[in-house]
Amino acid sequence: MSDTPVSSRPPEQHVSSRATQQANNPDTRQHTTKKHRYYALLLGSLVGLAMILCCEFVSGRLEHRIIPDPSHPRASVPGTTMPANPYLLWEHSPGERQEYGVTVRINSLGLRGPEPITPKPTGLTRIVATGDSTVYGFGIPEDSTFVQIAARQMSTDGQPFEGWAAALPGYSTLQTLNLLAMRALRLEPDIIVVANIWSDHAREGFVDAELLDAYTSFDDSPAAHVDRLLRHSAFYRLLHWELAVRRGTQARARGRWSPPQSPPEADDRHRVPPADYAVNLESIASVAEEQGALLAFMVLPSPADLDRGVSPSVEEYRQIMRQTASRHEAPIVEGGELFSSSHIPSARLWLDQVHPSVEGHGLLGRALAATLKARLDAGQGE
């Protein structure tokens, strides 16, 4: 007979006892707690991800119904051909119309000219000039604007050039930045000629930055990088539109704004103050660099260049443009010197006190072509 003691408890009780001991073991309890937390975290993450995907799906379906498509200008409304836009303040509706005795056609990008071929054909070089009504060609036939003349002057049988005006009457550098980001860069410019000055310098009773929403941020701050990253989300774009664009501070200001009919008396601020003008020119230069485009500048002429000289205020803006061109080693056309040295009577060079005539645009276009050709030839020789 064996002397080994035999437990009087049944086998199940042994198992239960061991399980109880394991459950009461602190290490076991800690491991179980961690496992529960892991599963809870995993479940919460999956639920959160599902909610985010759901929001993205719903926002993506709603976005095009709520937010106007920024890539195309709005159709005209009764009584106007320049609908409002939160990023541009105003824009031209597509179509053909008569403006001051000249036929003007606006394409689907909201720019003056025919429908562009996109993507850009191989071998074609595109010159895009930015600015306001002078660059747009106020009172001038489409093929007589300086950017068109420059393109024709530079074209050869083996190297065609196209000229485009990314410009509308009254557009400042801030509007230009938004226009480039929204539409004009689809032209795939090889050369960007910056000719913004008059509308930035203008005093019209409002400051652009107080009214315009930024379509995208061009600075390098951490907040700007985060904003550009978040704009990939339809939910973020929808939220930004509703809270910032449609109901934000600028939206309330735009609701009280109307296009100026006469020079204001109460507010003599420049639409784009000199410091902001300098920042905006640098931002346009950055856009050109990102596009791999040659950057150039044009200091637009004034009738005062042929008479008493421009005011110190205008000269300040011109100097800012010259300094920007110098920093980027960009070619620059001095329109004022060009007009004053031409010895052509002022009446032949101007339509009015702001806008050059066909003959004036011819001078600018030929000078621009010569300046760009010299830079391109120098680059090829390096």
Question: Residue 80: what pLDDT?
Answer: 55
Mean confidence (pLDDT) of the chain? 85
Residues 85-130: pLDDT tens digits?
A: 888 999 999 999 898 889 999 999 999 999 999 999 999 999 999 9
Can you tell me the mean pLDDT for 144-155? 98
Can you tell me the mean pLDDT for 139-159? 96
Cα 35 from Cα 14, distance rounded (Å): 26
Mean pLDDT check: name the lowest of 22-26, 175-179, 356-360.
22-26
pTM across the whole model? 0.80
Is it the case that residue 152 has pLDDT exceeding 70? yes
Contact 309, 317 (CB under 8 A): no
Mean pLDDT check: name the lowest of 80-84, 256-260, 335-339.
256-260
Q: Which of 269, 266, 172, 243 is nearest to 212 (CA)?
A: 172
Can you tell me the mean pLDDT for 165-179? 96
Can you tell me the mean pLDDT for 43-72? 77
Can you tell me the mean pLDDT for 300-306? 96
Cα 181 from Cα 167, distance rounded (Å): 13
Is it the case that residue 200 has pLDDT exceeding 70? yes
Residues 349-364: pLDDT tens digits?
A: 999 999 999 999 999 9
Better pLDDT: 75 or 209: 209
pLDDT classification of 331: cutoffs 50, 70, 90: very high
Residues 46-55: pLDDT tens digits?
A: 888 888 888 8
Residues 29-47: pLDDT tens digits?
A: 666 777 778 888 888 888 8
Question: Around Cβ 107, how many Cβ atoms within 10 Å?
Answer: 18
